[in-house]
Amino acid sequence: MPEAINLIELKQLIQRLRENDRRAAARLITFIENGGPDQAKHIIKEIFPFTGKAYIIGITGPPGAGKSTLVNSLATHLLNQNFKVSIIAVDPTSPFSGGALLGDRIRMKDNFQAKNLFIRSMANRGQLGGLAQTTKDVIQVLDAFGSDYIIVETVGVGQSEIDIFKSAYTTIVISVPGMGDDIQAIKAGIMEITDIFVVNKADLPKADKTVAEIEAMLDLSGRIDINHQQHCVKIIRTEGWRPPVIKTIAFRGENIGELANLIQKHKDHVKKTGILEQKLRIRNRHYVAEILKYILSKNIEKMVFTNPDIEKLIEKILTLDKNFDPYTISEEILKEFLVRYL
């Protein structure tokens, strides 16, 4: 059983969150991770009026592309400009969450900078509402915390990464020279939602070739619809913005300032053109859709495991009769029972 949170404790934690208490932020995130949407609900309702200020950057790329190093360099650059930065490192393949292990990730110049940085790793621990949903809730907490920038770093380019990316205002995809297969992977789904391409480890051979390959892909993709509909999921692509391709050498901070400038340029662009507001609208739709799916899933589980009439229906599957396969039975349940459970 996840630890429950009471309203008085919650209000105190949120007060402390607003006073830049990082332990309060960590605690609230843990509540969300352990308690799922049922617990997150109470937290989000309270902090909601304090959100809407942070700028959210999504960064992804294949293992070995130097994501963490690049994120660290970028964060350091933003800290030097006196911004408050939060990093959420999402690893769907790891079972470990927390902040402790990441404490040494960035070498801080002074305490002032340390106070302006918050790092949290998030793992796939069978989150009750799914990793993308949890990430959305955690972003809200770090927004109310007063972050100027929230960097969401994810491993790989699978569906869960794409779902997480839907929360970002500027999305960055990292590759490294000579990774032909990964370019293929990028093609598969992430191409449409990338705002800036980074070819990291640009001191390796073939960096320029990789840049050229990405540029060629961008030429091929041609005009991009502003509302790209795919599996009923709208993805906003920034009209009037051809994603730049930039070479970096993250481990020695090379071209990180230029990357930060590109982010700023993209930020200005999406604000000026109204695309940011559209992105927010679409993010909110996904947010609501995920919450609704969670509530309904919970009701379905309950129904399927407690209703004796439904039990009788499902029993029929065991007969292996042609008319009682799992799909037909499901359709029958949907028609006969589900409406009453809502």
Q: In what order do the strands lie in the sheet with 170-175?
A: 117-123, 85-91, 149-155, 55-61, 170-175, 196-199, 245-247
Closest by Cα among 148, 182, 165 to 267: 148
- Burial annotation 26-37 (CB, 10 A radius, 16+ → b, else e): bbbbbbbbbbbb
Please report whether residue 197 would count as binding a copy of itself according to CB under 8 A.
Answer: no
Chain-centre distance for alpha carbon 328:
36
Q: Which is nearer to a copy of itself, 46 or 254 (CB)?
A: 46
Please report whether residue 12 would count as binding a copy of itself according to CB under 8 A.
Answer: no
Q: Which is nearer to a copy of itself, 107 or 231 (CB)?
A: 231
Please report whether residue 234 would count as binding a copy of itself according to CB under 8 A.
Answer: yes
Please report whether residue 295 would count as binding a copy of itself according to CB under 8 A.
Answer: yes
Q: Which is nearer to a copy of itself, 110 or 181 (CB)?
A: 181
Among 98, 189, 244, 253, binds a copy of itself (CB under 8 A): 189
Strand ranges (E), the chain: 55-61, 85-91, 117-123, 149-155, 170-175, 196-199, 227-230, 233-236, 245-247
Contact 256, 74 (CB under 8 A): yes
Contact 174, 186 (CB under 8 A): no
Largest CA distance in the chain: 71
Q: Which is nearer to a copy of itself, 41 or 269 (CB)?
A: 41
Report the chain's C-alpha Rg in angstroms: 22
Please report whether residue 61 would count as binding a copy of itself according to CB under 8 A.
Answer: no
* Binders in 63-102 for a copy of itself, by CB under 8 A: 92-93, 95
Minimum gap (Å) between residue 78 Cβ and a copy of itself = 24
Please report whether residue 317 would count as binding a copy of itself according to CB under 8 A.
Answer: yes
Sites of contact with a copy of itself (CB under 8 A): 37, 40-41, 44-45, 48-49, 51-52, 92-93, 95, 124-128, 156-159, 162, 185, 188-189, 231-234, 277, 280-281, 284-285, 287-289, 291-293, 295-298, 300-302, 304-305, 314-315, 317-318, 320-322, 325-331, 333-334, 338-339, 342
